């Protein structure tokens, strides 16, 4: 009887957005009198930080600092329609809607500035520090603050924009299944290392090394939190979680966290994340949706590592000590 080490690999891809498309999201952007920007949405932040990345997308598009952007969301009286936060669609769909709305608002802003500076709007750009400058002649400039004031109180113009993003719905062909499920795919490859106690069947994950290709890391810190969290969830799916441990039997289902097993901090291994960026043609600044994918490759990588360690296959999830031990015993008989 011994602790046996093994490692396994898995490689996956994942579609961004609602399968087969047909899932619109809208955004409205407007400036306040002093040149701050409001983004109105009805999208939901699930705690993953949707509001932060949306503010950065708006700021990038208009050319202002992120802290000049406020996200007003999740209110159906004030926010235009959003299909919802699911299907790895938030950044991609809502982000694209915001780019469109912000681009329209920026155009008005530049036109207002152009009138104040008596130049052509096409010759203007933002400097990222709160000013609108003449291209090639940055000494000729006006602040966004003054531009917004002029728009409101002098020129009577609304610095605002509307945006919607919709991937047209695809309908599968009934006999061949020809269809367009998604416009872009994220990718991953994971190597997991495990220790298996062949006396108890217990599996300890030693390390998980994940490589994710996500189009573009719009906020690398938030990418990290999402990918690390996903990686832990993958481990949890592989080894611990189920509401019905003896499925299809209906008994034995957990009703609280004493009975429903999940890994605690001490059960989580060293987690490494490497991010590759191949921008998606239709992604907001190239971003794809890795929110769901990041919890997937760990499951088969761990299953394969268990086999590598003790030479048995557990083809039923979760890979509990009981199942590992039964497989080892069956192999010996």
Indicate the residue among 45 and 115 with the shorter CB distance to other proteins.
45
Helices 50-62 + 95-117 axis angle, to 10: 30
Tokens coding 9:
């690999």
Indicate the residue among 211 and 328 with the shorter CB distance to other proteins.
211
Indicate the residue among 152 and 209 with the shorter CB distance to other proteins.
209
Q: Output the smallest distance, CB 155 to other proteins, in A.
A: 27
123 in helix, strand or coil? Answer: helix
Indicate the residue among 43 and 96 with the shorter CB distance to other proteins.
43
**CA 272-275-99 angle, 5° bins:** 140
| Beta carbons of 36 and 105 less than 8 angstroms apart | no
Indicate the residue among 153 and 257 with the shorter CB distance to other proteins.
257
Residue with the two structure tokens 């530049």? 110
Tokens coding 182:
């998604």
Alpha-carbon gap, residue 67 to 55, rounded angstroms: 8
Q: Output the smallest distance, CB 308 to other proteins, in A.
A: 9
| Beta carbons of 187 and 88 less than 8 angstroms apart | no
Segment holding 112, helix H or strand E: helix 95-117
Q: Output the smallest distance, CB 194 to other proteins, in A.
A: 13
Q: Output the smallest distance, CB 34 to other proteins, in A.
A: 19
Indicate the residue among 149 and 211 with the shorter CB distance to other proteins.
211
Q: Output the smallest distance, CB 31 to other proteins, in A.
A: 17
Residue 191 φ/ψ region, left for φ over 0, alpha for ψ in the -120 to 50 degree band, beta for the rest: beta
Alpha-carbon gap, residue 284 to 96, rounded angstroms: 5
Indicate the residue among 114 and 302 with the shorter CB distance to other proteins.
302
Q: Output the smallest distance, CB 224 to other proteins, in A.
A: 4
Q: Output the smallest distance, CB 255 to other proteins, in A.
A: 4
| 170-195 b/e (C-beta count within 10 Å ≥ 16 → b) | eeeeeeeeeeeebbbbbbbbbbbbbb
């Amino acid at each position: 009887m011994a602790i046996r080490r093994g490692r396994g690999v898995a490689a996956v891809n994942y579609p961004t957005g609602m399968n087969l498309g047909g899932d619109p999201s809208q955004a409205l952007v407007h400036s306040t009198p002093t040149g701050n920007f409001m983004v109105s949405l009805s999208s939901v932040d699930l705690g993953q930080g949707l509001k932060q990345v949306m503010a950065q997308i708006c700021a990038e598009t208009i050319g202002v600092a992120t802290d000049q952007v406020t996200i007003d969301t999740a209110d159906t009286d004030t926010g235009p329609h959003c299909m919802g936060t699911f299907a790895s669609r938030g950044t991609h769909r809502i982000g694209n809607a915001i780019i469109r709305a912000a681009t329209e608002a920026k155009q008005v802003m530049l036109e207002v500035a152009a009138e104040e500076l008596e130049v052509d709007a096409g010759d203007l750009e933002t400097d990222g520090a709160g000013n609108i400058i003449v291209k090639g002649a940055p000494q000729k400039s006006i602040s966004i603050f003054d531009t917004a004031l002029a728009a409101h109180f002098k020129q009577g113009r609304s610095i605002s924009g509307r945006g919607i993003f919709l991937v047209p719905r695809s309908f599968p062909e009934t006999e061949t299944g020809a269809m367009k499920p998604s416009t872009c795919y994220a990718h991953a490859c994971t190597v997991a290392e495990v220790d298996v106690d062949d006396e108890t069947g217990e599996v300890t994950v030693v390390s998980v090394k994940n490589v994710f290709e996500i189009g573009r890391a719009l906020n690398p810190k938030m990418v990290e939190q999402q990918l690390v969290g996903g990686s832990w969830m993958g481990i949890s799916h592989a080894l611990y979680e189920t509401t019905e441990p003896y499925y299809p039997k209906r008994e034995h289902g957990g009703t609280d966290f004493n009975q429903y097993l999940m890994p605690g901090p001490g059960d989580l291994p060293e987690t490494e994340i490497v991010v590759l960026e191949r921008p998606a043609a239709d992604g907001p600044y190239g971003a794809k949706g890795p929110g769901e994918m990041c919890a997937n490759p760990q499951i088969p990588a761990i299953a394969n590592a268990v086999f590598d360690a003790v030479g048995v296959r557990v083809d039923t999830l979760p890979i509990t000590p009981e199942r590992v031990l039964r497989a080892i015993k069956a192999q010996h008989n």
